[in-house]
Structure 1
């Protein structure tokens, strides 16, 4: 996955993401960026997991199109 600020390997990125996704001080655009980075690190997520991420981040499902459109750039957004 990657390393944290202390140089330790990140074992559970979701544990680090959730506080940012539910923080009211984080803008929706930034939440979408966080979710997109997670998707890229996993080389895609299931549609069910994508919907759960959007729900945790309190992002309307209509904004899902923003992430799905990244697939037109050749990125694996959703997997089967």
Structure 2
């Protein structure tokens, strides 16, 4: 095991250090060490916060898209038989 793999890594959000394992970090192929810059706890908190603030907008947008698709396919003759 190399020094990079066995060392600890600081989270960019909470500044706490954790071992470089997938137990504490999500994977990210873009990062040099293959792990995200935020620890799992901070990343999950941020995702929950983002979902809570935007979930109503996302649901509304999905309902609009479904309605558009229903209208579109109703005008297509090959789909009426199905």
Q: What TM-score comes out, normalization by structure 2 length?
A: 0.24
- Which structure features the higher share of helix residues? 1
- Which structure features the higher share of strand residues? 2
Larger Cα-atom Rg = 2
Q: Larger relative contact order (C-alpha < 8 A, sep ≥ 6)?
A: 1
